Structure 1
Amino acid sequence: MKPVFYEQRAETIFMGEICDHPFPSHVHDVVEIVCLQTGSMEMTISSKNIMLLPGDIAITFPSEVHSYDYVSKDASGLTLIFLPDTIMEFCHVFRTMQPLHPLLLHQDQAPELTSIIRHLLTITSGSQAAPLMLGYLHLFLAYLFTALPLTPRARNPHSTLTDQVLQYISEHFAEPLTLENTSHALGISRIHLSHIFSQQLHINFRQYINTLRIDRACTLLRNPNYSISQIAYLCGYGNQRTFHRAFLAQCGMPPNQYRAEQPSHPPRRV
């Protein structure tokens, strides 16, 4: 039973190392592709449980609920996150189709994909990064779709209200949210909102907010320019004691230890 939240991203393309820890179920309007190089991972994409081994690729189309359920300590690889219209040639595919299965095994791929992924991993920040990323992304998708079976996207007519709840909380989770002020902002009753969490998201409201806040904290802890007290404030915690307690409960270690164990180099964005 996992929470689902709506994630917003501002960049056109995000390219970086794969998620290095389990990540709760979430949904967003971008494409998310994971190319595993070493180790193993378990993901759930649109209710399908998949295991990735070295060389495998997991593909999440826009508006598909997905999670990172297990990430081995030696896991490494490439994550690509981009808007559907980044490469206009494939925009219609991302908007109207979906994969028959979200996992593309290494043995089923065109051999050119391995070389393209290797080149993407070597791109660094700089004036030449954006055109290189776009060029290789175009090639990547062209070869990907030669091997990935697609089917017309199925629509869920009952997801509208839940999507509104997820989006609102994604935009405001660092604020002092309660069931009362959130339900008022959404124009629904407190009981109705509570029912969405208990029956659809299978988590209580406060636990859900903490999940989003601590995930944001994990991202900020990679940036040495923020102190831990600043991060606690930016993530919606009024004092460090509450922040430390919530962080320890979710991550199994205090924030200063988590920061010490993380690589310092940032992902690339354009």
Structure 2
Amino acid sequence: MIHHLSGIHETADYRTDTQICLYYNDENENYPPHWHTPFEVIMPVKNIYTVDVGKKHYVLREGDILVICPGIVHELFAPETGKRIIFQPGLSQVQIRELELLISLIRPAVLITPEKYPTFHQTAHQLMLEIKEEYFRCEPYYETAIYSHFLRILVDIGRLHGALKHPSADASNSRQKDYLDKFLYITNYINEHFAEDLSLEQIADLAGFSKYHFTRLFKQYTDTSFYKYLNQKRIDYAKTLLLDPNLPVLDVALQCGFSSLSAFLRMFKQLNMCTPTEFRNMYDS
């Protein structure tokens, strides 16, 4: 199934002139640790399917749905028999300002089961089946239909996981919308300026909140801390720079916004379970 693998980096085998790829996979084959730029959505149709994402081990039953974020290293283990949908939608050409916020909420992956999300699971399960049918029928506007179904899944995930699920008791809908708009602006600002010397105090002031109030709200709206979000953006960028074997690791660290090599090495290993050099060697192997 993995047609283009260089080390641990997979280049998705998109259908011509699209950014979508889907396999109705029945292969009794395991797939080694790898990562890619599109999302990956896995739904077993017959028998189980096992997936390792970082340090987490998932055993997917028939109908369970696992959504893996872009850039996350994962490994797949197949049973002797079975079938599963493996869907890889790329969104690099889709301009959605909430997308980075959604990714931060579900990173590295989210498992959708009937026990945890009974109503949403029914919807997501049906949408995945419709995505498969649209992909193989290949009728006019099938690409638009597939993206609309996948975006519906992302929207529901965001609403279930985001701050709007747990609004403050005294907060009006208007205030919630104002806060969400503000944190969309803040996360987009970080996405554009992460390589600069950003501080919690500076970004809190940009948002118009005290440091302590901003810290609480940032966690509420992104499900992570400010510095974890910032460092994740820096490390994601570092992984792309490390694909150039001629670029020294120190230069990678500085271009990503780290003030020292030691801080970069520590954070890279914490988030990827390997050093930058080990990551580069895996890519080149």
Q: Distance in 1 between matches of 2:105 and 2:144?
A: 27
Q: Which moved more, 1:45-54 or 1:196-205?
A: 196-205
Provide the aligned C-alpha RMSD in A: 3.8
- Letter paired with 1:142: V
Q: How big is the shift at 1:52? A: 0.7
Q: Is the 8 A contact 1:32 1:61 kept in 2?
A: yes
SS at match of 1:25: strand
Q: Is the 8 A contact 1:32 1:60 kept in 2?
A: yes
- 1:200 aligns with 278
Q: How big is the shift at 1:15? A: 2.8
SS at match of 2:42: strand
Residue in structure 2 matching 1:43, options 46, 51, 59? 51
Q: Is the 8 A contact 2:41 2:67 kept in 1?
A: yes
Distance 1:116 1:159, change over 3 A: closer
Residue in structure 1 matching 2:223, options 140, 143, 151? 151
Q: Distance in 2 between matches of 1:130 and 1:115?
A: 17
- 2:83 aligns with 75
- Letter paired with 2:43: C
Q: Distance in 2 between matches of 1:60 and 1:4?
A: 20
Q: How big is the shift at 1:71? A: 4.2
Question: What are the ranges of 5 or more consecutive residues in structure 1 without an aligned counterpart?
Answer: 169-182, 189-195, 210-270
Residue in structure 2 matching 1:114, options 125, 143, 156? 125
TM-score, with normalisation over the residues of structure 1? 0.53
Q: May I ask how many residue pairs the two structures share in their alignment?
A: 183
Q: Is the 8 A contact 1:45 1:102 kept in 2?
A: no
- 1:220 aligns with none
Q: Which has the higher contact order (CA 8 A, sep 6+)?
A: 1
- 1:12 aligns with 19
Q: How big is the shift at 1:31? A: 1.5
Residue in structure 2 matching 1:22, options 10, 24, 30? 30
Q: Distance in 1 between matches of 2:145 and 2:20?
A: 12
Q: How big is the shift at 1:121? A: 1.9
TM-score, with normalisation over the residues of structure 2? 0.51
Pairing 1:80-99 to 2, within 5 Å after superposition? 80-83=88-91, 86=94, 88=96, 90-99=98-107
Distance 1:204 1:94, change over 3 A: closer
CA offsets 1:193-238 (integer angstroms, 9 cap, x no match): xxx8998359888xx64xxxxxxxxxxxxxxxxxxxxxxxxxxxxx
Pairing 1:1-270 to 2, within 5 Å after superposition? 5-9=8-12, 11-18=18-25, 20=27, 21-83=29-91, 86=94, 88=96, 90-99=98-107, 102-109=110-117, 110=120, 111-123=122-134, 124-148=137-161, 151-152=223-224, 154=229, 155-156=231-232, 163-165=240-242, 167-168=243-244, 185-186=246-247, 200=278, 209=285
Q: Distance in 1 between matches of 2:145 and 2:10?
A: 26
SS at match of 1:126: coil
Distance 1:89 1:138, change over 3 A: farther
Q: How big is the shift at 1:4? A: 6.1
